[in-house]
Amino acid sequence: MTNQELTSLPLPPGESGLPFIGETISFFTDPNFSQKRVAKYGKVYQTNIFGNPTVTMIGAEANNFLFRNENKYVVSTWPKSTKILLGDLSLAVKNGEFHKSRRQLLYQAFQPRALASYIPTMEKITEQYINNWLEQKELIWYPQIRDYTFDIASNLLVSTDGGSHTVLGELFEDWCAGLFTLPINLPWTKFGKALRCRKKLLKYIEEIVIKRQQLDNPGEDALGLLIQAEDEAGNKLTTEELKDQVLLLLFAGHETLTSAIASFCLLTAQNPDVMAKLTAEQTKFANKSPLTLDTIKEMTYLDQVIKEVMRIIPPVGGGFREVIESFEFNGYQIPKGWTIQYQIAQTHQDKDIYTESDRFDPDRFSPERQEDKKASFAYIPFGGGLRECLGKEFARLEMRIFASLLLQKCQWELLPNQNLELVTVPTPHPKDGLKVKTRAFLR
């Protein structure tokens, strides 16, 4: 298509909203923001969020186009607040060859051998938390799940025990709160507080990194592996890079996992038939401690349930791309310099792919049905293409260990009179924090 033909095409339909902020406030506060615009304009529409003209592209076809044209028509991007708080050296904000080379280095912390070494720590911390929840009997679960995932992430990444109850945990929560906000650096704004916390976090992480670098053996946790990692030319991650990468990995191993695990607890409690099948499967593994990767692979129904949890409530609602070369999609002109948002949550509700898409049905992932295989990139809880989540196997492992031990030791039910409506920013979670009653599972 010639440039003249391209520029003659219409822009996607939509609205630009208010000057400067566009529709950013609605994007944050309206849980049905996208659904309303899809109903009005279709699966390709324009808006203005985070100060940029933005085209939302929804569905497997759109995902396929974007993921297969990375570095040709689009490159990964983030809202300005997120980019600043993640840092210039963070893998998340890099593109091209630098991103590729650094991704290979970071993969050292997520290869199967490394994952297997994490299992004992994950098991130990999980059992401690489950025993505590059983003692409490009634609790608000979501904030405690946040502590749980952060304790695992901080232990495996920087060998900090009980990280959620240290200065590291306190700073991290305030830093997280500013990631997806308007980048207004004032003392009382979430972004301003997060910027100050970032400086303190990096200082804290730097002290740990430097101590480890001075050891003959930096250790076998994720940080130790990253310090030792070398590319083909013998290059290692610098101290400055390590600081930003550790911060990114703490975020990835905590924020989204908390959401996914809380969603598992919520949806299984709401579907007792699924809970019963899960519990029956877990009786086969009750005496198979310690867990291994091979044992976990045998939990086939649990695998289906976790997939369905992440289809119904994906921990990340979508992702962003910057248009580096104008292109045509579905008869529309998508201009260079604009932002693209692809939608994970909306893709997972596609009725052409998923039978009764709003129903919680783990059997849709059974070997007989495999609905997610109907189209490429129809199921993308971890994104896709060159930017697929590097830590997805870490997340899958932790979710399975959590679910397996919880089902073997604990029964839970939702308490009445609570608001289970999902707050979506920064990641989905029940508004009232998921109030539950727990009791020991008696065989």
Question: What pLDDT is recorded for position 411?
Answer: 93
pLDDT at 220: 77
User: Could you tell me which of 313, 315, 283 has the C-alpha nearest to residue 299?
Assistant: 283
User: What pLDDT score does 443 carry?
Assistant: 57
Q: Are 160 and 168 in contact (CB under 8 A)?
A: yes
CB 137 within 8 A of CB 143: no
Across 283-300, b (16+ Cβ under 10 Å) vs e yields: eebeeeeebeeebbeebe
Q: Which of 223, 209, 254 is nearest to 156 (CA)?
A: 223
Q: Look at the alpha carbons of 352, 356, 357, 363 in this order and tell me if their dihedral is positive or negative.
A: negative
What lies within 8 Å, CB to CB, of 36 at 6+ separation is 30
What integer pLDDT is reported at residue 442 of this predicted model?
Answer: 66
Residues of the chain where predicted confidence (pLDDT) is lower than 70:
1, 442-443
> Is the whole model's pTM more than 0.85, yes or no?
yes
297 contacts 50 by C-beta, under 8 angstroms: no
Yes or no: say if 436 and 410 are a contact pair by the CB < 8 Å rule. Answer: no
DSSP tag of 199: H
For residue 342, give the H/E element and its range.
strand 339-343
The predicted pLDDT at position 252 comes to 80
